[in-house]
Amino acid sequence: MSEETSIQIVENYEILAENKIIIQAFTGSGLVASIVAHHLIEKLDLKEKGYISSPLIPAVGIVRNGIIQRPIRIFENNEYLLILSEIGISQDNLNEFIESLFIWYNSIDPSSIVVIGALPTGRPSDATDLRYSVVASDSITQQYIEEKDVTVLPQGAVYGSVALSLMEAKRYGISSFGILSNCIATIPDYLAAKKVVEILQILLEESIPTEPLNKNALELKEHLIRRDKNKLKTQKGSTNDDFDLFSPKFNKDPFYDDSDDDEDLSKFI
């Protein structure tokens, strides 16, 4: 990168990043992006090649199977470059971090960028009612999405890393879209993650096996159905304990919020 940035791309192995599809997954509500990323790493045979270092990143290490790992890691195969962040970047540092990240993105000339996110809306009417929003960076990308019979969000607002990334992609003229699956913010939401993978299959024209995601999603679905039935029996007329977009308690802002201030639930997966 010739421009001065606040991040450093550290290559443990050579990264052949040029002209690939970038998949950006920053953890947040329901751990949706993290679940999707780990699923793609396994099913698309993405290899860990390096990591991102920056003073803007919190002093946190991720532990898996007793081994410390960098919180923001880079994975690659012949077609895709996946950027996985398993921690949230503070709002004070987020703008500068995303701007620096896109200086690197622009330097490697990606064919397109896919941003994975989540909307912490809960599921007020039906625990298994899966909804999603897709937002494009430009009209050509929007047309491509609609030709695939995938609905784009007609109007509203998104926040956090998803919003900043899509706006930077638009500024650089890089075709990009964000997939935001409605989720329950307080649990690892495998149902929401499965919906994202299904949309990716369509828009990337990629065959992505969905096991064991199907098994985890089915178990969660059965649990939520049982929970809702129990609530109807014991708390008739009460609202969901989960974040309910339509509850007067939370309905202060009609816009979607995908901020990175959500609780970091990485330890649960």
* Domain locations in the chain as residue ranges: 8-268
Average confidence (pLDDT) over 192-209 = 94
47-53 vs 8-11, strand pairing mode: antiparallel
Q: How far is CA 241 from CA 75, 184, 237, 244, 252, in A?
A: 37, 10, 12, 8, 17
Characterize 64-75 residue by residue with b for buried, 16 or more Cβ atoms within 10 angstroms of its Cβ, and e for exposed. eeeeeebbbbbb
Amino acid 212: pLDDT: 79
Spatial CB neighbours of 174, under 8 Å, sequence gap ≥ 6? 105, 106, 110, 112, 113, 137
Cis peptide bond prior to 212, omega within 30° of 0 = yes
Q: What is the pLDDT of residues 48-94, one digit of tens each?
A: 999 999 999 999 999 989 999 999 999 999 999 999 999 999 999 99
pLDDT grade, residue 125 (50/70/90)?
low
CATH number of 8-268: 3.40.50.10900
Question: Any idea which residue has 């096991």 for tokens?
Answer: 211
Q: Which band of pLDDT confidence, cut at 50, 70 and 90, is reported for residue 227?
A: confident
Q: What is the pLDDT of residues 57-70, one digit of tens each?
A: 999 999 989 999 99
Measured at the CA of 164, the angle between CA 268 and CA 168, to 5 degrees, comes to 130
Query: If DSSP codes are grouped into helix, strand and coil, which group holds residue 53?
Result: strand
